[in-house]
């Protein structure tokens, strides 16, 4: 909620700053967007707006790679999850088998990591 178009993005709330970042992304010719903790530090209302933007981008054909430490965010937003432990992928989960239990099982299990494969 800027007072004028000349206000700096740094004067905006965290959620609105995130929206500015999304707007900048869309001015480039991109096929894949990597989002690292896209809703960290923003309020619930801003999170909802950001989730809606991410869903709209995916519906438009963009590939979205989201890195998040928030389990509800991963479960609610992702079609496919790569679970990691100690910097290595231990499992790939596809919807509808993405759950908190499945993610934690693969994140905490003493199992050999998968080879790097997509």
pLDDT at 74: 94
Beta carbons of 32 and 65 less than 8 angstroms apart: yes
pLDDT in tens, 68-118: 999 999 999 999 999 999 889 999 999 999 999 999 999 997 755 555 444
The Cα 92–Cα 44 span in angstroms is 28
pLDDT at 112: 57
Residues sharing a CB contact under 8 Å with residue 43, sequence separation 6 or more, in sequence order: 13, 14, 15
Share of the chain above pLDDT 90, in %: 45
Beta carbons of 26 and 46 less than 8 angstroms apart: no
Bridge partners of 35? 66
pLDDT at 3: 77
The Cα 68–Cα 114 span in angstroms is 20
Residue 22: closest CA among 11, 38, 6:
38
* pTM of this prediction exceeds 0.85: no
Domain 12-69: give its CATH architecture: 3-Layer(aba) Sandwich (3.40)
Tell me how far CA of residue 81 lies from CA of 42, 46, 52, 75, in angstroms.
23, 23, 19, 9
**Domain extent listing, the chain:** 12-69, 79-118
């Amino acid at each position: 909620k800027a007072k004028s178009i000349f206000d700096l993005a740094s004067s905006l709330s965290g959620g609105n700053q995130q929206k500015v970042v999304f707007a900048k992304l869309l001015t480039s010719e991109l096929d894949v967007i990597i989002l690292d903790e896209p809703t960290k530090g923003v309020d619930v209302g801003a999170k909802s707006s950001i989730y809606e933007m991410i869903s709209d981008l995916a519906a438009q054909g963009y590939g979205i790679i989201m890195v998040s430490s928030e389990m509800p965010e991963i479960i609610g937003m992702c079609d496919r999850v790569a679970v990691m432990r100690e910097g290595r992928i231990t499992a790939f989960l596809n919807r509808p088998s993405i759950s908190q239990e499945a993610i934690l099982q693969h994140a905490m299990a003493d199992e050999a990591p998968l080879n790097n494969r997509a």
